[in-house]
């Protein structure tokens, strides 16, 4: 999955990150989220999930949409968060199921200091696209940065339960647990699994205090 990393803030000695999502394109088919397989043609599928899959397929080949998305990201990198939000607003007005745009708009709100709006945005995103991994990690990080640890832990555990483990989720859960003072074997094991593929997790693991080993 292609993505850029935006630094959000710090928790004790560890810098935490919010991950923005770059829209998939024809040259990077691996960036497309897999469609959840249906057990049978008669299986009931939430309409929003079907909308997400169809809209992603359309955006994959729509250069104008991709151009607008990258324009918003460039504005964000230059600190013009309100202008970036305006572009994301238009993209979402045209396509409410545009998960990548909704994810990144949430991060713009957080950058402007409106964490509550960012949390609401990501929570809604997970309601309509429960397979969107970045939303779980970004939501947990924002909650964690505002010392809402129990909410952050509940969120990231739900993501792991639904989608299985992935490096950013393991790292985030370790951060959430240690942020609550839980320097436990569970937290360290999640960090170990993340460290194999994530440099931040590797650095964090190396700084793990001896008394907690």
* Confidence grade of residue 14 (pLDDT, cut at 50, 70, 90): very low
For the chain, percent of residues with pLDDT exceeding 90:
66
- Asked if the structure places residue 133 within a domain, the reply is yes
Residues spanned by the domain of 111: 3-7+14-24+48-164
Mean predicted confidence (pLDDT) in 19-37: 42
pLDDT tens digits along 147-203: 999 999 999 999 999 999 999 999 999 999 999 999 999 999 999 999 999 999 999
Q: In the structure encoding, which two tokens stand for residue 155, read together?
A: 């969120």
The CATH number assigned to the domain holding 140 equals 1.25.40.10
Residue 132 located in a structural domain: yes
Number of domains in the chain: 1
Is the residue at 31 inside a domain? Answer: no
Domain annotation covers residue 38: no
Q: Report the mean per-residue pLDDT for the chain.
A: 80
Please report, to the nearest 10 degrees, the dihedral formed by the alpha carbons of residues 111, 115, 120, 125 taken in order: 40
- pLDDT the model gives residue 22: 53
Residue 100 dihedral angles phi and psi, to the nearest 5° = -60, -40
Position 92 in a domain: yes
């Amino acid at each position: 999955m292609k993505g850029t990393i935006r630094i959000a803030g710090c928790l004790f000695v560890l810098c935490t990150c919010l991950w923005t999502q770059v829209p998939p394109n024809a040259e990077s088919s691996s960036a497309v989220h897999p469609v959840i397989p249906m057990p049978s043609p008669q299986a009931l599928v939430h309409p929003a999930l079907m909308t997400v899959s169809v809209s992603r397929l359309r955006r994959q080949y729509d250069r104008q949409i991709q151009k607008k998305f990258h324009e918003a990201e460039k504005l964000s990198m230059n600190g013009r968060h309100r202008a970036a939000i305006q572009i994301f607003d238009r993209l979402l007005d045209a396509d409410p199921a545009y998960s990548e745009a909704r994810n990144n708009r949430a991060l713009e709100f957080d950058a402007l200091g409106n964490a509550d709006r960012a949390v609401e945005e990501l929570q809604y995103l997970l309601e309509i696209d429960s397979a969107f991994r970045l939303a779980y990690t970004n939501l947990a990080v924002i909650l964690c940065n505002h010392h809402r640890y129990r909410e952050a832990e509940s969120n990231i555990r739900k993501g792991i339960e639904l989608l299985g483990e992935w490096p950013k989720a393991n790292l985030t859960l370790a951060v959430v647990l240690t942020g609550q003072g839980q320097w436990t074997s569970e937290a360290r094991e999640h960090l170990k699994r993340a460290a194999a593929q994530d440099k931040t997790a590797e650095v964090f693991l190396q700084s793990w205090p001896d008394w907690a080993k």
